[in-house]
Amino acid sequence: MDKPTEQTRVIELQQLLNQYNYEYHVLDTPSVSDEEYDSLMRELTQLEAKFPELKTADSPTQRVGGDVLANFEKVEHRTPMLSLGNAFNDADLRDFDRRVRQVVGDDVAYVCEMKIDGLAVSLRYQQGLFIQGTTRGDGTVGEGITENLKTIRSIPLRLSDPFDIEVRGEAFMPKKSFEALNEAKLVNDEMPFANPRNAAAGSLRQLDPKLAAKRNLDIYVYSIADLGETGVVSHSEGLDLLDQLGFKTNPERRTYSSIDEVITFVEGWVDKRPNLSYDIDGIVIKVDSLEQQAQLGFTAKSPRWAIAYKFRAEEVETKLIDIELSVGRTGVVTPTAILEPVKVAGTTVQRASLHNEDLIREKDIRIGDYVVVKKAGDIIPEVVNVLVDRRTGEEQAFHMPTECPECGSELVRLEDEVALRCINPRCPAQIREGLIHFVSRTAMNIEGLGEKVIAQLFQEKLITNVADIYKLEKDQLIKLERMGEKSADNLVNAIEASKQNSLEKLLFGLGIRHVGAKAAKTLAQHFETIDNLKRVTAGDLVAINEIGEKMADSIVTYFSAPEVSELIEELRGQGVNLEYKGPKAVKIDDSDSYFAGKTIVLTGKLERLSRNDAKTEIEAQGGKVTGSVSKSTDLVIAGEAAGSKLAKAAELGIEVWDEDRLIEELKK
């Protein structure tokens, strides 16, 4: 072929393959064989390599995954991704219906949809082209995962019409994909995912899109975030439009005019849900009319025009074979039920936490019992009750030991605590769990240094405390199981990078009893260096808002230990930062800032500042930023498209500023 002919062929192949992809992944009606599709894809790949200028953003070749990302950028949602209120029984649904009819009258219709158990995402299109995909995050700010979402073949890269539109959907892992993924993990001696929801979330947070592409995820789009010029007047009409544009919407949706019909629909899916090719954990019910939705409005956390009916957790019977004990980083000894493998809510369960000895006694749980098991929240396995009528007399009562199963030290029960605790600071289990906590994402965030690697390093005596992590060398790491040269290089770099973390990360990582991530930041911000913190008294600490007596005593006790002083000096010697790097704390009494001591709410889209930046700067000047407007709110900052919070501020007579006034005051 000559060049013009080849270029024409590229365009033809792109259009053809996108059509075949839509037929297969959205309509579930493939019109060509896999072999023919693959042959055409190979041809297109070769031609695009020859004419790279013809490779467009919506080319089907873009679905295989691009370059590895350094991180995910934070993205502020133009329209917040709110959570839904929950219903757990018929009475809750009838109460929802009553509240709706009190506002909009009796002429109301409801759309019922499957509540997919996955990861909520937002998809933005400009002139019909997919330009940005974002996780829900905290509902206000999510993570940009555009490249990973492009690997989901049911997401159109270009719409059938050149709309500017933002839609919301649930990305999920079909049951078959989940089973195949976990089988591969077991073959590779890796920890399998607990459930398809975790697997989907983990896949979409891979920094390498090629790994996400291998996970075979899917999506159902369930709403239009910004209706714009669509002319849509109802939710069901919006779903029909999404179908026309090329999105995949759930075919099981139904519209009803009475709550009795809704309840019948919900009850019908209680038994049918296992037959679906994907997991659902309930049914979402929405008022269909968009005008009525606007009348009903929102609470601070959720829309008043929608509710999620949550299915009762599936309960199954199995045998309790044994009870094992584990020691956590704070020394708490936790009993765990070892079960005959049983399928619960889509995954195989072999272990369930028994929490403490009091719970075992209360439920009269014995080794050898047949028990009923469920997943709390469809996630965490727990023993519901014992099937006493199935006892044979051979069951054995369980008693907690008096000595630590790891180090043999005497176990104690501290005042006002249910749990037994090992208080030996040299207990191997506590040290190992403490190391795992230190490197975790919410602490020092050392990527690549997971539980298995820590366990190997600890077993080989290469690390005995957190300072030893910073002494590790590449030659030592390469010798570990499943650790290649590139992985070792990446890990060395991650360890080195963590030295620059701000003090609050280190304080939380040290695992001081009662000090969580929020308290660690408060302490770091107030005292600024670890040397200042080491010298404080309990009285100094309780004078700080949010620090109670119990936490204050724990902090003083921790820093008074000679081995802690030695550890800090080791960390200092290894170049670990021991100072706070964030915005300085403002003492309200000494501050002349307008914001000092005031409670402020941000609403709408800010143009010059991100919401996070505005929050950080306000807090740096002594203000407190909250998410909802109330009588205690002093000020509301309103950006573009401010909604119900602005109306609430007007109702309560609260002062409202625009972004320009905010920036002007911050600069003073």
Phi-psi region of 622 (alpha: psi -120 to 50; beta: other; left: phi over 0): left
Residues involved in catalysis: 115
Tokens representing 212 are 């996400």
Q: What's the rounded Cα separation, in Å, for the pair 613 and 618?
A: 9
Locus of tokens 């089907």: 60
| 657 contacts 632 by C-beta, under 8 angstroms | no
Phi, psi (5° rounding) for residue 116?
A: -65, 135
Tokens representing 465 are 């405390």
Separation in Å, CA 631 to CA 599, 635, 648: 10, 10, 10
The distance of Cα 367 from the centroid of its chain, to the nearest Å, equals 36
Sign of CA dihedral 472, 475, 481, 483: positive
Q: What's the rounded Cα separation, in Å, for the pair 37 and 451?
A: 42
Q: Which of 169, 164, 159, 167 shows the shortest CA–CA distance to 245?
A: 159
Locus of tokens 């009803």: 256
Sign of CA dihedral 135, 136, 138, 141: positive
Q: Where are the alpha helices (DSSP H) in 282-364?
A: 290-296, 357-362
**Residue type at position 313:** A
Element (H, E) at 20: helix 3-25
Tokens representing 387 are 């099937």
Q: What's the rounded Cα separation, in Å, for the pair 598 and 591?
A: 12
397: CB partners within 8 A, 6+ apart:
366, 367
Q: What's the rounded Cα separation, in Å, for the pair 335 and 418?
A: 13
